[in-house]
Amino acid sequence: MPFTHIDIQHQRRSKSTILFIILVVYYFLGFVILGHLLLFSIGIKKADFNYFVGMDTFYLTCLATALTLAAIHWLHAIIGGVERILTALHVEEPDPLDRYHKQFINVIEEIKLATGFHDLRPVVIPTLAVNAFAISTKSDNAVIGVTEGLLARLTRPQLENVVAHEMSHIINNDCVMVTIACSLFATYAQMLRQMADSAEKSQRGAPWLWVGVLALLTLGAKLLNVAISRQREYLADATAVRLTRNPIGLTEAMLKISRNWRGVGYMDESMAPIFIMNPMESTLDENTGFWSNILSTHPPLNRRLSPLLELAHSDIETISNNVEFQLKARQEIKTIHEAPESIGSLWWVQQDNQWKGPFPLAQLGQMTTLKPDSWVCRTDNKNVVKVSEVPEINKLLTARESLSWGGPNCPRCKQPLSNESYEGTKVFHCRFCEGYLIYENSLFKILARREIGFTDEYKKKIKDYQKTQLANSVRQIRPRQQDSSPDCKCPVCSVPMNRTFYSYQYQIVIDRCYSCKLTWFDKNELDFLQIMLEEKIV
């Protein structure tokens, strides 16, 4: 294990040589196999081929072509490898106005000060998976990324240790080889697999050719893993503890990551080397034999935790109990949402010489047509008065005037939507019809975070709703048949939104604008989805 800058650079050059040789061999064997298949298919025998050209010339041509293409591919991986990986992972820039993202940005700034490494870019992957990664090919394009699920599950000290671990890969220079290796084949394999899945789902034809190319790319990614040593994870763990002085935080973080969904299905297996833990639960990772040491990119979890526990003077049972206690404590401090049964006093409002309502106070404050001289009537006393004579409504009007409206209007009731904070991220809320308009990236954040809890009575309502949905699914009742309300128009582009289920697993009827990446949730629909997902009522 290298400890000096010279040793690290020497090991890096050695690994670069091995990586390039593997790449040349891969291309050479590929050309040789394709060449023989071509000769066989057109009926040319080896003796005939030797008479006209000669096998020596054929092999030399294959080798020269392999060297040329390998060199071009290598330079392409170094120059555009980072951006290609980021594109494959669908990353987004962190939002400084989001509470969880702001904490991540602050941690990145702290680690930059601690290491003196200034060219560091933070990104976020919009997925519920719990994982983190680091990539870099040059000193000025280093990237540390985390998933929304990781930001939602980890405490700040645990997040600091994960970022320190990824930063260790960058300052130890082992990140470069991993990034190049993934850029050479893994990014293409992931993109091609996504294209194949899309074509198969849309029934546009069986992608058999894509499957063949995908198999070759996956094989190339597997071969390049030989040049990636799993020992680098031990060095990164040790360096992270040196940076944070908190071995318990890193131990707890890795336990949480290991016990959650790490991204299998969303992140391609060939991208595993860049992540703190393999997205797949691989038996190869948990073994220590010859083939595991050669082909696996991550060491066994228990062997990674062992030195950390020694540094912390603790044991795995104590750390596990700490993690369980944190989970229970988080459950206890949730903001509890109850089923919306009682909504307090209701009011009728006179508009265009007609009485409309009844409306609760929250909805009155949202109505832009409500003026101080508007006539209102409370349902429980039938007294008709002007708004100016009702103190509680006057307060709502004053608050409304102080707000900066300028956002989109509600697609249902055409009232202005208020810009509010929901589980640390920004959403548009209609206080009139209680609906939510949410951008796709914000929806991932809400579903990953667990700040809001629900009463048992509310959960029972969801179970009853789920039973109805299961019956509707059996009878093949479509979303538009279940919700026959008028179509919603997207508040941004004014195009009718698509009425569909959130997913086939969570059959909440929603309205989506795919071009603007906006989702409209009618009253209770967002709550229903959160309970189904978080409580796993399926």
Domain coordinates in residue numbering, the chain: 5-328, 334-400, 404-538
Residue 397 pLDDT greater than 80, yes or no: no
Q: So what's the pLDDT on residue 218?
A: 64
Q: Give the pLDDT confidence of 274-292 residue by residue, as tens digits.
A: 999 988 877 766 766 666 6
Q: How far is CA 463 from CA 333, 430, 448, 531, 538, in A?
A: 24, 26, 21, 10, 9
Q: Is 92 a catalytic residue?
A: no
Per-residue pLDDT at 2: 41
Q: How far is CA 454 from the centre of its chain?
A: 25
Q: What span, in angstroms and rounded, lies between the C-alpha atoms of 482 and 416?
A: 27
pLDDT in tens, 249-262: 999 999 999 999 99
Query: Would you state the structure tokens that stand for residue 369, as one six-digit string?
Result: 């047509």
- The string of pLDDT tens digits covering residues 439-448 is 998 998 998 8
pLDDT for 438 beyond 90:
yes
pLDDT over 80 (residue 198): no
**Residue 191, pLDDT score:** 63
pLDDT digits (tens, 9 = 90+) for 20-40: 777 787 778 777 777 777 766
The reported pLDDT for the residue numbered 342 is 47
Phi, psi of 113 (to 5 degrees): -70, -40
DSSP string, 424-460: TEEEEE-TTT--EEEEHHHHHHHHH---EEE-HHHHH
Distance, in Å, from the CA atom of 22 to the CA atom of 288, rounded to the nearest integer, reads 24
Identify which has the larger pLDDT, 417 or 315.
315
Give pLDDT, residue 310: 93
Q: Of 364, 374, 371, 534, whose CA–CA distance to 454 is shortest?
A: 534
Least confident among 87-91, 97-101, 268-272, 491-495: 268-272
- Categorize the per-residue pLDDT at 145 as very low, low, confident or very high, splitting at 50, 70 and 90: very high
Q: Tell me how far apart the alpha carbons of residues 71 and 75 are, in angstroms, rounded to a whole number.
A: 6
Q: From the candidates 160, 166, 233, 252, which is the catalytic residue?
A: 166
- Cα–chain-centroid distance for residue 499? 24
- Given pLDDT bands bounded at 50, 70 and 90, which one contains residue 404? very low
Burial of 245 (0-12, 13-18, 19+ CB in 10 A): exposed
CB 132 within 8 A of CB 250: no
Reported confidence tier of residue 80, pLDDT bands at 50, 70, 90: confident
Q: List the structure tokens of 243.
A: 């940076």
- The CATH number of 334-400 is which of 1.10.3470, 3.30.70, 3.30.1490, 3.40.50? 3.30.1490
Residue 219: pLDDT band (50, 70, 90) is: low
- Residue 69 predicted with pLDDT over 50: yes
Reported as a pLDDT band with limits 50, 70 and 90, residue 505 is: confident
Q: Which DSSP string corresponds to 375-426?
A: EEEETTT--EEEGGG-HHHHHHHHHHHHS---SPBPTTT-PBPEEEEETTEE
Q: Which of 54-63, 77-86, 172-181 has the highest mean predicted lDDT (pLDDT)?
A: 77-86
Least confident of 190-204, 316-330, 336-350, 418-432: 190-204
Residue 398 confidence (pLDDT): 65
Task: Report the pLDDT averaged over residues 157-186.
Answer: 87
Q: What is the percentage of the chain residues whose pLDDT exceeds 90?
A: 28
Q: Is the pLDDT of residue 187 over 70?
A: no
More confident residue, 479 or 324: 324
Q: What is the mean pLDDT of the chain?
A: 80
Residue 428, pLDDT > 60, answer yes
Residue 408 pairs in a beta bridge with none
Instruction: For residue range 44-64, list pLDDT tens digits in order.
Output: 655 555 545 556 777 888 888
